[in-house]
Structure 1
Amino acid sequence: MMQNNAYNTYKNNSVNYASREQLLLMLLDGAVKFSKIGRQAIVDKDVKKAHENLVKTQNIFYELMTTLDIEKGGEWAKGLMNIYDFIVRRLTDANIKKDIEIMNEVIPLIEDVRDTWNEAYKIAKGTK
């Protein structure tokens, strides 16, 4: 019980005191995790679990789309918005069809987005 409380406190503090960049990376780590859980649930024929995790992944990308500043980001941000939109549409297709092949297509793209933001964060922090 005490370990659980300590872990929850740690988790709360890591979110509450994280920078915007760190929160972005946490969201993207979650998107990778939930998409993989969703893919496995499709394999396991667990429709409810697949749906819940694919929706969680979509919600993360909806949040990223909402916070993306197209005006400041220009063409780069527009391109990123198109990638986010594509991911959301493919997740919707995968969820409706419970299609493992679509998940095999979209998960590497989600990982690429996460890895790209991770590299950008390292470069911005000067730790590369």
Structure 2
Amino acid sequence: MYGNSAYNAYKTNSVNFASKDQLLLMLVDGAVKFAKIGRQAILDKDVKKAHENITKTQDVFYELMATLDVEQAGEWGHNLMSIYDFIVRKLTEANIKKDIAIMDEIIPLIEEVRNTWYEADKLSRRSK
């Protein structure tokens, strides 16, 4: 019991004291995790769990879209917004159809988004 409460306190503090960059990385990690859980739930025929986790994945991308300053980011920002929009639309389709093939198509793209943000974070740290 103590281990769970200590872990929960750690998680809460991790989020409460994380920088904006760290929060972004936590978000994209969560998107990958939720997408994979949703995919497995489709395989397991657990409709409720699939829906909940695909929706959580979409929520991450909605948050990324809401916080992306497209005007400041220029063409790169517009391209990123298009990718986020594509992911959300494909997740919606996968969720409606409970289609494993769509999840298999979209999860690598979600992982690529995560990997890109990790690489950007590394480059940002090096330049400071």
TM-score (norm 2): 0.97
Alignment RMSD (CA, Å) = 0.9
Q: C-alpha offsets along residues 104-124 of structure 1, whole Å, 9 cap, x if unaligned?
A: 000000000000000000110
Aligned partners of 1:21 and 1:57: how far apart in 2?
19
Q: Percent identity?
A: 71
Matched AA of 1:18: A
> Aligned residue for 1:71?
71
Structure 1, gaps ≥5 residues long? none
Matched AA of 2:115: D
Matched AA of 1:16: N
Residue aligned with 1:18, SS? coil
**Deviant stretches of 4+, over 4 Å:** none
Aligned partners of 2:10 and 2:61: how far apart in 1?
25
Aligned partners of 2:11 and 2:48: how far apart in 1?
27
Matched AA of 1:98: K
Matched AA of 2:22: Q
> Aligned residue for 2:24?
24
> Aligned residue for 2:48?
48
Residue aligned with 2:35, SS? helix
TM-score (norm 1): 0.97
> Aligned residue for 1:124?
124
Structure 2, gaps ≥5 residues long? none
- Once the 2 structures are TM-superposed, how far is the Cα of residue 71 of structure 1 from its aligned partner? 1.1
